[in-house]
Chain A
Amino acid sequence: MSTSKSALSNIFGQLTFWRGVRAIVFFLIFWQIGSLLDDWTGYDLFGIGLVPPPTDVFTAFLEVIPKHGYWMSWVASFSRVLTGFLVAMLIGIPFGLMLAVNRYFRGVFFPPFEILRPIPPLAWVPASLIFWPTNEMSIAFVTFLGAFFTIVINVLGGARNIDISYLRAAQSMGASQFHLFWKIVLPGTLPSIFTGAAVGMGITWEVVLAAEMISGGGTQGGGGLGFFIWNSYMGGSLEQIVVGMISIGIAGYLSSSAIRKLGFVLMPWRRLF
């Protein structure tokens, strides 16, 4: 039963993999033709004549790959994203769970939370630049906020939607309040926590990159991928702009895959499909 299932999912996995590869190849060909048509015919058919073709971008990629600064941009952005995201998870999960299970806690903290939540993270940038002593701390704070609200809302929603029968069953069998919180509410909320984490991770990347562009980064590499793009723009290198954009795409993909992997490990009961 399980072998046929995994064989089946293998076939599907391969199918989707090759379908994905084919789609990307088509996309690249389309892009190449689109950007070259302008040069060949003087007629910008797809409206992307100004965009450098994939071959030029590839060359630019090969140029930056050996450069230390490019990789330092990766490191800088990744460490900002991870810091903000992890702190948001560490504070957001218990905070959301407390909001869900404790009426008094909810009464005190939910109203201010709901007022602050609609403020887009980037609107916090000026205030936090003034409030926090260093640029780095302001970026970290804004990044944290971006993920925090999303995570809390998902945890809260997930925890409040737990089937009450689970709580009743556990309590009838003698579970303490403490046990109920950590062994029933928490695992029952894990799926929502991971939904929140996936969305939060996306927001974190957006916020980090925007903050890097706004704050101007500072030294080479320390500015992160956002600053890398900004710098390429200032230097007039269209190819490098696209290299930066694709790098961000890859970085975002790696981050969300990591979250999926972690979800897979921590929620074995959700692997059934």
Chain B
Amino acid sequence: MVKNTAKAAKKGAISIKNVTKVYDPGGVNVMAVDNCSMEIAGGEVCMIVGPSGCGKTTLLNAIAGFHSITEGSIEVDGELLCGPTKPKAEQGADRMVVFQHGALFPWKTLQENVAYGPTVQKAMSSGEAMDKAGQMLAEAGLGSFIKKFPGEVSSGMARRAEIVRALINNPKVLLLDEPYRAMDALTKQIMHESLLETYDRTGVTIFFITHDLEEAIFLGDKVHIVTTRPCQLKKTVEVNIPRPRSYETQSSEEFRKLLDEVNEAVHEEAVKAFKAGERELA
């Protein structure tokens, strides 16, 4: 196993080209993503921000291989995941998802959950996988909870464990779908520090969907603001705040300026989404 040092291995570049996704074309015919293109460099933290229901999860699911796309193509490191000849990407451990509502298996302990990937891939014996899982959970500050079931720990701990479960597979890309939604501000801070620490250690590419604009700027190298449904890239804001970042950066002038910039773009879309909602209801 190669130990990634940050910035050394730049694998995990995602190239989204003119992707369109129409749900149920013959029936309800919902266009969730329309001709959307995005380039994400390997080892980049890419934050996706946009109104609810605009198609962010749809895009993530297409990268993960959970469903097909209607048009366009997606590549990872130049390899075609899905495209005209192959509408649905294969699911694979190179792209690990951390789900919107959490998906640790409730019937397995945290340690068993983390050991699951290497065990089913037969990359390690189950004993080795359990050892490695215990060690990685301990590194994430969950050492005294490895024998607990997900239902026994706080949502913050479960989230951290789920990220560890993804990372043990050495993915090129980590896909996170609003993982810290509904967490209180204090827990979020701890989650952010833990994720940044993980990122600095592994250099994995991060594709992160969020509603929280401060979160987007604090974590991201780039913030991609997408339009209301159908999803298209509206604007990309580059965040040039140096890493490692700490909480103080949030009160810096630069951070505030970026926040205003993102806020303005998002607000426009939010208003559009709201009006569209009113029209639909009327």
Contacts and interface: CB of A to CB of B under 8 A. Distances in A.
A163 B103 CA distance: 8
Determine which residue in B102, B120, B152 has the highest number of CB atoms from chain A within 10 A of its CB, and name it. Answer: B120
A269 B92 CA distance: 28
Given A173-B169, A174-B93, A268-B149, A165 B120 contact: no
Contact of A269 (B93, B102, B107, B169): B107
Given A165-B101, A188-B107, A267-B107, A170 B116 contact: yes
Interface residues of B, number: 27
B141 interface: no
Contact of A174 (B66, B102, B121, B152): B121
A169 B149 CA distance: 17
A172 interface: yes
A172 B149 contact: no
A173 B101 contact: no
Contacts of A173: 93, 96, 116-117, 120-121, 169
A272 interface: yes
Contacts of A172: 64-65, 91-93, 95-97
Contact of A169 (B99, B100, B152): B99
Interface string B217-259: 0000000000000000000000000000000000000000000
Question: Could you tell me the dominant secondary structure of chain B's interface residues?
Answer: loop
B112 to A, nearest CB: 10
B99 A171 contact: no
Interface residues of A, number: 21
A173 B92 CA distance: 6
B101 A163 contact: yes
Contacts of B53: none
A190 interface: yes
A190 B107 CA distance: 10
A233 interface: no
Interface string A171-207: 1111110010000100110100000000000000000
A31 to B, nearest CB: 43
Interface in B48-80: 64-66
B106 interface: yes
A179 B107 contact: no
Contacts of B121: 173-174
Interface of A: 163, 165-166, 168-176, 179, 184, 187-188, 190, 267-269, 272
Going nearest first, the 10 A-B pairs with the smallest beta carbon separation are A165-B103, A173-B117, A269-B149, A187-B107, A174-B121, A165-B99, A169-B103, A172-B91, A171-B91, A174-B120
